[in-house]
Amino acid sequence: MVRWEPGTPERLQAAALELFATRGYEQTTAAEIAQSVGLTERTFFRHFADKREVLFHGQQLFVAGFLEGARATPGDAAPLEVVRAALGSAAGFFGDERRPHSRRRQTVIDANPALQERELHKMVGLADALRDLLRERGVAEPAATLAARVGTLVFEVSFATWIAEGEERSIDTIQAVVFAELVALVQ
Amino acid sequence: MVRWEPGTPERLQAAALELFATRGYEQTTAAEIAQSVGLTERTFFRHFADKREVLFHGQQLFVAGFLEGARATPGDAAPLEVVRAALGSAAGFFGDERRPHSRRRQTVIDANPALQERELHKMVGLADALRDLLRERGVAEPAATLAARVGTLVFEVSFATWIAEGEERSIDTIQAVVFAELVALVQ
DNA sequence: CGTGATGATGTCGGTTACTGACATCACCCT
DNA sequence: AGGGTGATGTCAGTAACCGACATCATCACG
């Protein structure tokens, strides 16, 4: 018999998603989320810097994968090749079994500007990390920033498509299409 | 003698920028901003939906100009030409006389994640409006979203460069360079 | 010239997000 | 057995907001 159930942040996250999806984000208090898993509000805020963060726990894995893909590329690869590698490696985190959960989560985010702001900020944070990686490889500005931001843009658009009702293609496939569209656009 | 001084939001904005720049954003309360121009906290929140918004008052002019430039383009122009026109027209709002103020404001934003989130959200809102305009002109997805987001990306990067210490080129000039870099990147 | 509508503001009370300080208490190591 | 550790609880406080109601110069209109 353990003193505390393990996986506290995960249980809080699951409870939060459930409550946000049913009652709505603003109609759910942090205290309610905590109580629904037998904890107090204070404990909630020990695990998450703020109420929004509860929906973003676990993203480090995705971010790490994204950057790992970029890093695994040869040191003299063209910026857009590094970006492509990052996208490919990130796609590994979005298998078909994850689609329903991602859909549910995204529905909550799309309904709340406060959560959208946080999501955008995370994406730009990821782009900034990729930009730094490109700079270390000698890519100058503004090319490094442009390449990195284009990478997260392609991901965002692809993810939104992957999530869409009725969509069945893998995110890999979608990313390839979106990337091709972008290249075709810029001529 | 008028009952209320006119330009209440503008006075609040000026006071807020001053206080944010000196004391810091989080160390400044909405009540303090209001008091510094002889008003109450409640009045502050009647003019701004939240504390962050005070720094974004007046952006409608920029947004309107951006979209106006896009709309002024022939109906069969290529997506990227529409985007280019939007950028050119937006540049009109950033003359040299505005540079010191923009710098000061951006310093405050760059120092506060909460303000960065809001700024990003505004940019994506602008991209969404441009995307809708492109869709009305028959541009399909994901090209419409990609073109629109690329437009705000070029603006963001150009603006950041324009703001940089020692930079003296006009934002027009910078935008042309950034745009060219982006085209060169995507080959 | 009175009067009632108007609109920006003030006042007040309440909720909720978040924080610091301190207490608790099962577990683990020695 | 006993002290250290780490996650949690408790409590009090600050500040961002919001709803409801009061105030009061101005102004249109009769």
Measured from the CB, is B3 under 7 Å from any atom of strand D? yes
Instruction: Count the domains in chain A.
Output: 2
> Any alpha helices (H) in B92-165, and if so which ranges?
99-110, 113-136, 143-163
Same domain, yes or no: A64 and A49: no
Question: What digits encode the pLDDT tens for the residues B121-162?
Answer: 999 999 999 999 999 999 999 999 999 999 999 999 999 999
- Domain presence at residue B129: yes
Per-residue pLDDT of chain A (187 residues), as tens digits, is 567 777 999 999 999 999 999 999 999 999 999 999 999 999 999 999 999 999 999 999 999 999 999 999 999 999 999 999 999 999 999 999 999 999 999 999 999 999 999 999 999 999 999 999 999 999 999 999 999 999 999 999 999 999 999 999 999 999 999 999 999 999 8
pLDDT for res A1: 52
Give A113→chain B minimum CA distance, Å: 8
Same domain, yes or no: B14 and B103: no
Assign residue B128 the CATH number of its domain: 1.10.357.10
Same domain, yes or no: A31 and A89: no
The tokens describing A107, both together, are 């529905």
Q: Looking at beta carbons, which residues of chain A come within 8 Å of B174? A: none
Judge contact between A86 and A72, C-beta under 8 A: no
Same domain, yes or no: B29 and B113: no
Q: Do the Cβ atoms of B153 and A153 come within 8 Å?
A: yes
Q: Which long-range contacts (CB under 8 A, 24 or more apart) does B101-108 make?
A: B102/B159, B102/B162, B102/B163, B103/B163, B104/B17, B104/B21, B105/B17, B105/B55, B106/B160, B106/B163, B107/B21, B108/B17, B108/B20, B108/B21, B108/B25, B108/B55
When pLDDT is averaged across residues B166-187 and rounded to a whole number, the result is 96
Assign residue B28 the CATH number of its domain: 1.10.10.60
Same domain, yes or no: A147 and A78: yes
- Domain presence at residue B3: no
Same domain, yes or no: A131 and A40: no
- Domain presence at residue B40: yes
Structural domain of residue B14, as residue ranges? Answer: 8-54
